[in-house]
Structure 1
Amino acid sequence: MSTSSPTAARQPRPPVLSETQARSRALETATRLYYARGISAVGMDALSSESGIGLKRLYQLFPSKEAIVEEVLNSMHGTWVGDIEQAAASATTPRDRLLAVYDYLGRWFSDDDYRGCVFINTFGEIGAASPRIATLVRDHKLDFQQYVVRLAVEAGATEALGQQLAILAEGAQTTAAIAGDPAAAGYARDAAVTLIDAALT
């Protein structure tokens, strides 16, 4: 006589994920794990286990770990651009749009899971070994610099001021991650105020 539960025997199998769903889940999991643990510490086996996507299918979706890292960075770039532009758009004057960058950083640094800039972290880990990844990081940073330069010019300042303000923001990201203290955003904002007001008077 069978001792198994008829109800248990009729348990449906979980639905098979479409390619789009599987890619989305894999990238979401990779983004979270890479940021929390670092890229080198998260192998394909760990990504497969955490995402629930079989290793064979994972390699069908992404031919290599580098391919996953590239897509993660591309997605994070889009998120960063959207967040920064939204923060600047909420300000009412060109000067305040520049300072809104540092206000955004202050909110980001206060997140419990803040671990620094994923692009800086990735470059430090594998940039030297992967020219493609290094290029993605450089392009991301250049895009941010050019955006801040554009905000500076719109405020009536020089491109040089924009470069200076971008460097302030980059330094604040690293300082906050190492010190574990979001106050770096406030210090960078104070310095930005000094630079902006000197440039606009």
Structure 2
Amino acid sequence: MTPAARRVLEAAARLFYERGIHAVGVDLIASEAGVTKKTLYDRFGSKEQIVVEYLADRDERWRAFLAQHLDAARPAPAARVLAVFDASRAWSAKNNSKGCGMVNAHAEISDPSHPAYPIITGQKQWMLALFTGLARDIAPDGADRLGRTLLLLHEGALVAHGLHVIADPIGHARQQAQALLAATGECG
């Protein structure tokens, strides 16, 4: 990616997250990035493609961040589940003052034919698969149910974080996940 394209993507990411995807036009992105609209269109082709690359980049950064937390977690399956909540708490403190970028994007892009839609839903499907895989090591016969419950705790906490309705919703969700894991006999 050229330096100008990188500036476009960084400006778009900041603006889309702060103001909303539909509220931000290519003129503003180009201005904030210090490039011409021609440069923006030469690199990305359309605003839709900028949205796709913004969300794909955000998802890639999240997955890498989460992988570090999972790698650092003790080998116990319950510790790895709780590490997801710990990672989300750390990520949100730094990157998500308005809540989950994917959930926010879905509020604006709910049409399955939009090119960004598969990235949004794909990230949440990946999170469900992650929780279900971790749950399989804890409760093989109830992994699907436990995975869905953990995902709901996690996603609800991310939404609540963005709404600023309760203090430390991700920490609260982590406590609830820990209690749920303890009830299955696997918390450490």
Scaled by the length of structure 2, the TM-score of the pair is: 0.89
What letter is aligned with 1:146?
A
Task: Give the share of equivalent positions with the same residue, in percent.
Answer: 34
CA separation of 1:87 and 1:71: change in aligned 2, threshold 3 A: same
Alpha-carbon distance, 1:186 to partner: 1.5
Unpaired stretches in structure 1, ≥5 consecutive residues: 1-18
Residue 138 of structure 2: aligned partner: 155
Contact 1:27 1:68 in 2 (8 A): yes
Dislocated runs of 4+, deviation >6 Å: none
Determine the C-alpha separation between the residues in 2 that align with 1:75 and 1:182. 29
* Aligned equivalent of 1:49: 31
Summarize the alignment of residues 104-123 of structure 1 with structure 2, pairs less than 5 Å apart. Answer: 104-111=87-94, 114-123=97-106
Q: Distance in 2 between matches of 1:113 and 1:139?
A: 19
- Cα displacement string for residues 66-101 of structure 1 (whole angstroms, at most 9, x for unaligned residues): 010001111111111111121121111221110111
Aligned partners of 2:46, 2:135: CA distance in 1, in Å? 40
CA offset digits 1:25-50 (Å, max 9, x no partner):
11111111111111111100000100
Q: How does 1:82-101 map to 2 (within 5 A)?
A: 82-92=64-74, 93-101=76-84
| Equivalence for 1:15 | none
The answer to whether the aligner puts 1:166 opposite 2:151 as a matched pair is yes
Matched with 2:48 is: 66
- Normalising by the residue count of structure 1, what TM-score does the alignment of the two structures yield? 0.83
**Structure 1 position 20, deviation (Å):** 1.8
Distance 1:25 1:182, change over 3 A: farther
Matched residue, 2:182:
197
Deviation at residue 113 of structure 1 after TM alignment = 5.7
The total of aligned residue pairs comes to 183
Amino acid at match of 1:118: G
CA shift for structure 1 position 199: 2.0
Q: Is the 8 A contact 1:156 1:200 kept in 2?
A: no
Over 3 Å counting, the alpha-carbon distance change for 1:187 and 1:116 in structure 2 is same
User: How is 1:124-135 mapped onto 2 (pairs within 5 angstroms)?
Assistant: 124-128=107-111, 130-135=113-118
Distance 1:126 1:182, change over 3 A: same
The gaps in structure 2 that reach 5 residues or longer are none
Q: Which moved more, 1:179-188 or 1:113-122?
A: 179-188
Larger Rg: 1
Matched residue type, 1:77? D
Q: 1:127 to 1:190 in 2, by over 3 A?
A: same
